[in-house]
Amino acid sequence: MTSVEQMQVIAKDVRVSPDAKTQIPGLPVVVKAPADLPRSNAQDAKPLQGLLAYQYDLWERSILFWDTLRQRAVNMIAHERAGKPPLLDFDYELLLDARRFDQPANYALLRITRIDEACLEDCLDPAKPPVVVVDPRAGHGPGIGGFKRDSEIGIAMHQGHPVYFVSFFPEPCPGQTLGDVLHALRRFVEEVAKRHPGAAPIVYGNCQAGWAITLLSADCEGLVGPAVLNGSPLSYWAGESGVNPMRIAGGFVGGAWLTHFLADLGDGRFDGAWLVANFENLKPESMWEKYANLFTNVDTERERFLEFERWWNAWYFLSRGEILAIVENLFIGNKLEEGQLRICDGCTVDLRRIRNPLIIFASYGDNITPPQQALDWIPAVYRATADLKAAGQRIVYLTNPHVGHLGIFVSAKVARLEHRAILESVEEIAALAPGLYEMKIDNPSGDPDCHKPEYSVHFEERDIADIKVDTPLKAFERVRQISEANEQLYKTFVSPCVRSFSNPATAALLEWLHPMRTSRYLLSDEFNPWMRAVAGFARLVEGRRAPLPPGNAFLARERELNDQVFKGIEQGRKQRDALEERVFTLTYGDAHQTKSDVGGTAA
C-alpha cells in the first residue's frame, strides 16, 4: 500500500470533533468552510477579499463617474438647444419682455405661479408685500435664486408673499448698455408696484444684481421697498490680504483693456465662460473636492451634482458696453462708493439718495464677496453715524461665519433660516429709527424650519466707526490710472483692427473652442462616440450595483488620499495668492490689509 492510500484509509477513520482539537473515530467528516481555515490563512484571506471587493467597486464607480460627466454634457447640449431657459424649480408666466422696450435690454419679468401642486393663490397672503428676486449676470444664466425648493423664491412663497423673478436671456440686445438694464429694472419694479398698490416691493439683489438694485434705489426714491443685498459687492477694493485675491487681479493684466479685447473677439459680445473660469481658478481645491466627492459617493451624489451643474455650466453673454462699464467703473474703478459712477450723460449715482432700508447679508466664508466688500462703502459714503441718521437712512447687516458665496443663495440651511428671518422681520426693520444696525438671530432649537417665536431676532445698534477700513487706496488708484491709460491706447490703436477681423462666424468658433466648453462637450456621446460604450456599461453596473460598506479599509484610505490632495492644492493656492500679493505690493505699493472688525462679529 502506498503512502497516499494509507493516508486515504486514515482519513476515512479519523473524523474532526466540533472544537477541532481532538480526532474521534466514527464521527461524520466535517468539511471546513473558509472561515474555519487556520487562523493565519483567514487573516491573509480577509485583506485580499477586501482588496478585490474595493477594486471591483472602484471599477464600477469609475464607470458611473464618467457616465455622470457624459450626462452633464448631454444636459448642457439639451439646454443650449432649448434656448437656455431659466433653471427655476417653479412654474412661472412671462409678464414683461424688455427686449421690446424703447430702450431694449435682454431682461424679463416673470411671475411665479406654482410650487409642486400648489398654486400661488393657495398660500398667498394679500397683506404681505411682493418679493422680487433679481439674479446676477456674472457669467451664469438665471436661476440661482430659485433652482431649488429651499431657496429665496421657495421661502418667500411659503411665507405667503407674491413672488416675481427678474430673468434674462442668453444674448444681449445690440448696443445694450448699463443704463438700458437699469431702465428695464425700473419698469419691472413699477409693474410689480402697480399690481400691489400700497405695498412697496421687497427686492432681492443676489451678488452682482445687488449693486444694480442699489443703483435703482438711488435713482428711484420711494419706488423700492426694503432692498436685500445678498453677497453683493459695493466696495470693490476692500478685502483681506491673501484671502481675497480677486480684488487685485486687474493689476496683473493691465486693467480693462483685456476685457475689451475679449469682447471684440466675440464680435461685440463678452463670453460669460471667462468669468466662470475665473471663479474656478480662484479656489482650485474646491474643484478637486467637487469631483472627488462625486467619484467617492457617486451613488448618492450623482443627481445633486447634475442639478447644480445645469446652472453652473449655462454661460450667457454680456454686451461690450455693459462689461466695460462694469469693469471700468466697479471692478477696477471702484467709482460707485465714490459717487463718480455715471449711468448716462448728466446722470451720476449718489448712494446718499437711497432712502429705502438696506439689508446686507454677507459671510466670512465668502472669498468672492467678503463682508468688507459688502460693508466698507458705508463709511466712504457717510462720514459718521450722525451723518447716516441725518440722511434718514436705515442699514441693517447680517453676517454668517462660514458659508461660501453660493451658499448664501442655495444653501438649504441658510435659505430656511436667515432668509426666513429677514422676511419675517421686514416690518421691524422698517420701524427702526435711522442708523446702522446688526441683525442677530437667536435660535435655541437649532431647527432651520422653525418660525417666530421659536427663534427671535433683535437689532443691535452699531457705529460707523465700528467698520474698520484699511484699504490701500493709493495702490488701487495707480491700478485705475494704468487701466485707463491702457484702455485708451487699446481703444484707439488696436480695437479697430481686431473688430475688422471679427465677425459672427469667428465669434461662434471661439465660443465652441473655449476650454470651459470643450472640457465638457467632448465627454458627450454626440462629440465622442466612445462615451456610448460608457453609457452602456453604466446601465449594466446600475442593475447589479452593491456599494461597499462605509467601513471598508481601502475606501477609507481613498478618502484620506483625496483629503491629502485637497490640502496640497490648497497649500499651493495659498502660496500663489501670497506671491501675487507680494508682486502687487512691489508693483503698485502697499496692499496689506487686516480683517475688518465689523460690529464685533469679526473673528
Question: pLDDT tens digits for 325-373?
Answer: 999 999 999 999 988 888 877 778 889 989 899 999 999 989 889 999 9
Q: What is the pLDDT of residue 342?
A: 84
Indicate the DSSP class of residue 363: E
DSSP bridge pairs for 206: 230
pLDDT tens-digit map of 396-453: 999 998 888 888 887 777 767 888 899 999 999 999 999 999 999 998 777 777 778 8
Residue 398 CA, chain-centre distance (Å), reads 19
Within 8 A by CB and 6+ apart from 578, the residues are 242
Residue type, 503: N
Indicate the DSSP class of residue 181: H
Spatial separation of the C-alpha atoms in residues 203 and 92, rounded to whole Å: 18
The count of other CB atoms within 10 Å of the CB of residue 564 is: 10
What is 89-249+297-470's CATH topology?
A: Rossmann fold (3.40.50)
Spatial separation of the C-alpha atoms in residues 144 and 86, rounded to whole Å: 9
pTM recorded for the entire structure: 0.87
Provide the pairing of β-strand 342-344 with 347-348. Answer: antiparallel
Residues (pLDDT < 70) of the chain are 1-45, 116-122, 220-223, 415, 590-603
The candidate with the shortest Cα–Cα distance to 440, out of 457, 418, 453, 455, is 457
Within 8 A by CB and 6+ apart from 477, the residues are none
The count of other CB atoms within 10 Å of the CB of residue 310 is: 18
DSSP for 482-545, please give it. HHHHHHHHIIIIIHHHHHHH--HHHHHHHHHT-HHHHHHHTTSTTT-THHHHHHHHHHHHHHH-
Q: Tell me if the bond preceding 47 is cis, omega within 30° of 0.
A: no
- With vertex at residue 20, the alpha carbon angle to CA 15 and CA 22, rounded to the nearest 5 degrees, is 65
Q: Are 599 and 460 in contact (CB under 8 A)?
A: yes
Q: What is the pLDDT of residue 89?
A: 85
The three cell numbers of residue 347 are: 446722470
Q: What is the pLDDT of residue 107?
A: 98
How many residues are given for the chain? 603
DSSP bridge pairs for 168: 107
Residue type, 119: C
